[in-house]
Amino acid sequence: MRGFATEPNRAAGRRRTRGAAGAVATAALLLPLLGAAPSGDEPSAQGLQQAFASAAAEYRVPQSVLLGVSYLQSRWDTHAGAPSVTGGYGPMHLTDARTALASAPHHSEGTEDPRGDSARPPLHPEAALPDTADLPARLRTLPEAAELTGLGAERLRSDPAANVAGGAALLAAAQKELGEPLSDDPADWYGAVARFSGADDTATASAYANDVFELIRAGGERTTDSGQRVALAARPGLEPDTGQLARTGLRRSSNAGTECPASVSCEWIPAPYEQFGDGDYGNHDLANRPASPSIDYIVVHDTEGAWEGVLKMVQDPTYVSWHYSLRSTDGHIAQHVKAKDVAWHAGNWFVNAKSIGLEHEGFLANPDSWYTEAMYRSSARLVKYLAVKYDVPLDRQHILGHDNVPGPTASTVAGMHTDPGPYWDWAHYFQLLGRPFQPSAGPNGGLVTIRPDYAANRPVFTGCATAGRPCATHGSSAVRLYSDHDENSALITDIGRGRTPTKGVNDISSRVSTGQQYAVADRWGDWTAIWYLGQKAWFRNPPKEPTAVPAKGLVVTPKEGLESVPVYGRAYPEKEAYPAGVPAQSVSPLQYRLPAGQKYVVGDRVPGQYYYAVAFDAASHQVVTGTDLYYEIQFGHRVAFVRAADVQLLPSAG
């Protein structure tokens, strides 16, 4: 694949050969999450492990099936009784979603223009939410479990053992409905597992069931969020009866027409490309990617809304678009825009023109509204497939959160979106991508990769439910930055936001995120300083509980004799590169400077480029490429660009 910081060669138009590694990455199932567990009888234990054993015995469901299903839903976590993004509770993710669907449309919030192209009038779309009176069956499994078990709904929400029993009862009921025996052999339960997914089509249900049985074959163990050790014994030779799928009564479906790997369930629900009104059209632009422009980024969003509403919005020509949506309950994917075309999602036209946007069903400011393992896995499979297909490096300067996308101009910086936020588990996500964040230098390396322990790292955030009030305590991917090696010192200020920094859940001015890399500026006891937004920023990094690991790579610093250099939110070509008929776009710097003596990690070297597409007729679309080259850098929480002519490229120390 194209190099990370060791070979930033995009300007020359070269691409490195993927070779065998790409084929392996495409074929591999993503199971690096569980510690190894021995084959043989499943271990007995107290607490949650005993709850699985008891429920399995009472409802005559193989314990391995119960454990496999639960892991795919919740990784055996209880979340202290809090609901998931779709109103799912407990280790079995029993759903009762009536109170989980009220939300504001994601791209209707704030001041960000999702298209992010200053050549066109700003786009601030509004969309109506659908009526949620009639919930699909997948969002109301908890009431059904209450009927089957005789246990109260509140107990099923809050008591992990009762929740496990409810899941076992649902699996047993599905097995009986299929006319299958309550067998001790997990191979006989493929159809029931497929039905448990809540999917209404065979492709989604089979993808879900295949994951569960792959987990059972691999086995493993894990310490849950309540501190309990749960184990699943490996059954490496297990081959389920997949023929049961035909008897589930689910509608037949396939991935036909989509750009998805065979290992996920995917359907084509197109975003409209049509004209409406005088010069208005929506809700994306046709292009010829990756031939021109190239595809360099994948952007992770959360929807701030539920599945049905998200699908309604993306099919509205007056709204905006993204390439894929991912459903929380079962990891099902809908594709809306072909990868060759440009969706309007990231708020920065340079990034939009070169990216693929993924919307995940979820809510940034609700820390307890957790994402399911099924969705994390499905998303990682999709990203891995796209990364191989389009030669996108699997690192945090190319796999971006929406909160890492820079404002294209100084006036837009403060209004940029901040999803998926501090509760998205980047470490787990990159484990699934097969690129865990590991040390790559000695203890005094010149760079660090941010890598706190997600579960143990619990910074205080405010404003999730009420402005200024603390959010629920929760694990996080984020690490807070201070102006000195003291938690009582001032938070780092982001001049682009134009306000005093806070601990607000949407205030990214003084925090870094798992997987991001920065140059080390200083060290003091348990503290490490990095260069960040032109400042020396400190974070706690004690050796016994590190929040970052040493790294190496390439950095940029101003050329000798320059006191500072401008920083850009987009890498546009110089004025002379624009042909007749294409208005030259301003190469306008952001309000930041990169001072002499400071260093910033390089993600890529790219040519200045602008995709001109301001009309419905694609015949007028053009890609303008200049001779100016830029380096993409990790400048603050967001990435940014500097002109290659302004800086020198150096290897980091260590």
Residues 130-167: pLDDT tens digits?
554 567 888 899 999 999 999 999 999 999 999 999 99
Residue with tokens 């925090």: 511
Residue 5, pLDDT score? 34
Alpha-carbon distance 302 to 297, whole Å? 16
Q: How confident is the model at residue 86 (pLDDT cuts 50, 70, 90)?
A: confident
Q: Could you tell me if 404 and 639 are in contact, meaning their C-beta atoms sit under 8 angstroms apart?
A: yes
Alpha-carbon distance 612 to 177, whole Å? 57
Residue 112, pLDDT score? 85
Q: Where are the domains of the chain?
A: 31-96+140-247, 557-651
Residue 41, pLDDT score? 39
Within 8 A by CB and 6+ apart from 550, the residues are 439, 440, 441, 442, 443, 444, 445, 447, 448, 449, 654
Residue type, 582: V
Q: Could you tell me if 300 and 358 are in contact, meaning their C-beta atoms sit under 8 angstroms apart?
A: yes
Q: What is the DSSP letter of 247?
A: G
Judged against a pLDDT cut of 80, whether residue 46 lies above it is answered with no
Judged against a pLDDT cut of 90, whether residue 595 lies above it is answered with yes
Q: Could you tell me if 354 and 341 are in contact, meaning their C-beta atoms sit under 8 angstroms apart?
A: no
The rounded mean pLDDT for the chain is 89
> Helix (H, G, I), strand (E, B), or coil: what is residue 639?
strand
Residue 30, pLDDT score? 36
Q: How confident is the model at residue 80 (pLDDT cuts 50, 70, 90)?
A: confident
Q: What is the DSSP letter of 146?
A: H
Alpha-carbon distance 514 to 210, whole Å? 30
Judged against a pLDDT cut of 80, whether residue 323 lies above it is answered with yes
Look up residue 559 and give its two tokens.
């050329």
Lowest-confidence segment of 101-105, 168-172, 230-234 by average pLDDT = 101-105
Largest pairwise CA distance in the chain: 80
Q: How confident is the model at residue 25 (pLDDT cuts 50, 70, 90)?
A: very low
Residue 124, pLDDT score? 76
Domain 31-96+140-247 - what CATH class? mainly alpha
- In the chain, what percentage of residues exceed pLDDT 70? 89
Judged against a pLDDT cut of 60, whether residue 81 lies above it is answered with yes
Look up residue 144 and give its two tokens.
């059904």
Alpha helices in 433-486 (DSSP H): none
Q: Could you tell me if 180 and 61 are in contact, meaning their C-beta atoms sit under 8 angstroms apart?
A: no
Angle between helices 48-59 and 63-74 (to 10 degrees): 130
Residues 614-641: pLDDT tens digits?
999 999 999 999 999 999 999 999 999 9
Judged against a pLDDT cut of 50, whether residue 39 lies above it is answered with no
Exposed/middle/buried for 290, CB within 10 Å: 0-12, 13-18, 19+?
Answer: middle
Judged against a pLDDT cut of 60, whether residue 42 lies above it is answered with no
pTM over 0.75: yes
Residue of higher predicted confidence among 45 and 423: 423
Residue type, 569: G
Judged against a pLDDT cut of 70, whether residue 254 lies above it is answered with yes
Residues 422-467: pLDDT tens digits?
999 999 999 999 999 999 999 889 999 999 999 999 999 999 888 8
* Phi, psi dihedral angles at 302 (to 5 degrees): -115, 155
SS3 content of the chain, % helix, strand, coil (to 5): 25, 20, 55
Look up residue 132 and give its two tokens.
């949620």
Q: What is the DSSP letter of 497?
A: T
Residue 31, pLDDT score? 43
Q: Centre a 10 Å sphere on the Cβ of residue 75 and count the other Cβ atoms it contains.
A: 20
Alpha-carbon distance 352 to 586, whole Å? 17
Residues in the chain: 654
